[in-house]
C-alpha cells in the first residue's frame, strides 16, 4: 500500500471477482460433451509434454516444490481466469474460429459481466459525472457476410477506464461503469459515446504478476474495447478493438491483437475523436 491509487485493485480482489463471474456464467457452456477417448488422448498428450519439458530443462526438486506452491497460490488468489485468458485463450480462439469469413474475433478475457444496462443505437456508455479520459465516439454498422445490414444487432461492450481498471473488478468504480448492451438501429448502425481506455497491466501483487516479474516479461495489454456482437441467425462474435499507435500493440502479454482489429480514430469537426468500425457476422 505505498503508491497504489484509491481504486487500484489488489490481485486477490480482481482475481476473486473474476473467478466468481466465471462460475456464475459457467452454466452457459452446459458441459463440453467431450468423449472419454478424447479426454484420455488430450490429457496424456499434455502430461507427456510437461514430462518432456521437465527432462529437457533438468528440473530440480526445489523447483518442483516452487511450482506446486505457485499453482496453489494461483487458485487461492482466484487468478485461474486471469492466467488462462492471458496465456492460453488466444490459441483456443485461433483454433475454434479458424475458417470463419466474418470479422476477426479475439479472446473474451476474464472481465466480461452479463446483464449490463440496455442502450439504444445512439447512446453513451454509463460513466461517472467526471469520467477521466479522452472522449471517443465509436460508430459503425453490423452486416451479414452477404452484406445485408443486420437490423437490431446487439453489441455488448465493456472496457477499462482511463486508469486501466474495469468496473466490477476494482474498488471504487460504480457497478456497470463503461459497460452496456447496445441495440443497433434498423440499418444495423450504432454510435456509442465513451472514453478512450488506458492500457491494462496485470496486477503485480498476485501469482500471475509474480511469474511475469520473475521471468522478466512485461505485464501489459494495449488499450482495447471489448465487444460481443450478435444478431438472430448469426454466430456471435467475441472481439476486441485496439488503437493505432497504442503502446504495447506489438507485445501484448495476452497475444490477442490482430492487424484487422486496429481502430484509427480521427478528430471530427467538433474536435472529438471518432472511430468507425463495421462488424461482419458469420451465419450460425
Binding site for Fe ion (CB under 5 A): 109
DSSP symbol at 281: E
Among 105, 109, 140, 199, binds ligand MBD (CB under 6 A): 109
The least CB distance from residue 42 to Fe ion, in Å, is: 28
Residue 107 as a binder of ligand MBD (CB under 6 A): the answer is yes
DSSP 8-class letter at 198 = P
Minimum distance, C-beta of residue 256 to Fe ion, in the bound complex (Å): 9
d(CA 15, CA 83): 10
Helix (H) or strand (E) segment spanning residue 51: helix 36-57
Write down the least CB distance from residue 260 to Fe ion, Å. Answer: 18
Q: What are the cell numbers at 1?
A: 500500500
- Closer residue to Fe ion (CB): 79 or 231: 79
- CA dist 260 and 102 (Å) reads 11
CA distances from 142 to 156, 160, 278 (A): 13, 23, 6
Binding pattern for the stretch 209-238 against ligand MBD, x by CB under 6 A and - elsewhere: ------------x-----------------
Supply the minimum distance, in Å, between the C-beta of residue 255 and ligand MBD: 10
- The distance of closest approach from Cβ of residue 231 to ligand MBD in the complex, given in angstroms and rounded to an integer, is 23
85 belongs to the binding site for ligand MBD (CB under 6 A): yes
Per CB under 6 A, 111 contacts ligand MBD: yes
- Which entry of Fe ion, ligand MBD, none binds 161, CB below 5 to 8 A by partner kind? none
CA distance 272 to 60: 57
Pick 107 or 119: Cβ nearer ligand MBD: 107
3-state helix, strand, coil in the chain (%, to 5): 30, 25, 45
* Nearest CA-CA partner of 182 in 152, 161, 137, 160: 152
Choose between 150 and 211: whose C-beta lies nearer to ligand MBD.
211
> What are the residues whose beta carbons fall under 8 Å from the beta carbon of 270, sequence distance 6 or more?
none
To which residue does cell 488422448 refer?
Answer: 41
Kindly tell me the sign of the dihedral angle through the C-alpha atoms of 52, 58, 60, 65: negative
Smallest gap from Cβ 224 to Fe ion, in A, equals 6
For ligand MBD, the binding residues in 148-187 under the rule CB under 6 A are none
Residues that bind ligand MBD (CB under 6 A): 82, 85-86, 107, 109-111, 200, 221, 254, 256
Amino acid at each position: 500500500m505505498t503508491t497504489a491509487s484509491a481504486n487500484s485493485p489488489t490481485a486477490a480482489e480482481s482475481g476473486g471477482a473474476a473467478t466468481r463471474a466465471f462460475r456464475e456464467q459457467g452454466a452457459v457452456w452446459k458441459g463440453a460433451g467431450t468423449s472419454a477417448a478424447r479426454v484420455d488422448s488430450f490429457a496424456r498428450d499434455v502430461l507427456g509434454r510437461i514430462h518432456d519439458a521437465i527432462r529437457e530443462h533438468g528440473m530440480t526438486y526445489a523447483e518442483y516444490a516452487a511450482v506446486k506452491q505457485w499453482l496453489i497460490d494461483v487458485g487461492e488468489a482466484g487468478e485461474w481466469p486471469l492466467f488462462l485468458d492471458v496465456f492460453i485463450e488466444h490459441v483456443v480462439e485461433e483454433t475454434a474460429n479458424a475458417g470463419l469469413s466474418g470479422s476477426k474475433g479475439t479472446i473474451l478475457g476474464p472481465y466480461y459481466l452479463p446483464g449490463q444496462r440496455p442502450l439504444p443505437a445512439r447512446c453513451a456508455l454509463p460513466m461517472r459525472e467526471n469520467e477521466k479520459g479522452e472522449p471517443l465516439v465509436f460508430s459503425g454498422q453490423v452486416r451479414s457476410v452477404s452484406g445485408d445490414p443486420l437490423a437490431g444487432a446487439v453489441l455488448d461492450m465493456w472496457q477499462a477506464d482511463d486508469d486501466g481498471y474495469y468496473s466490477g473488478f476494482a474498488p471504487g468504480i460504480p457497478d456497470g461503469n463503461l459497460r452496456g448492451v447496445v441495440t443497433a438501429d434498423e440499418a444495423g448502425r450504432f454510435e456509442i459515446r465513451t472514453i478512450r481506455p488506458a492500457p491494462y497491466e496485470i496486477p503485480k501483487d498476485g501469482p500471475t504478476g509474480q511469474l511475469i516479474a520473475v521471468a522478466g516479461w512485461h505485464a501489459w495489454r494495449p488499450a482495447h474495447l471489448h465487444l460481443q456482437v450478435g444478431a438472430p441467425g448469426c454466430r456471435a462474435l467475441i472481439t476486441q478493438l485496439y488503437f493505432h499507435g497504442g503502446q504495447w500493440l506489438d507485445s501484448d502479454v495476452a497475444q490477442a491483437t490482430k492487424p484487422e482489429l486496429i481502430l484509427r480514430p480521427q478528430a471530427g469537426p467538433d474536435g472529438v475523436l471518432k472511430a468507425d468500425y463495421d462488424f461482419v457476422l458469420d451465419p450460425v
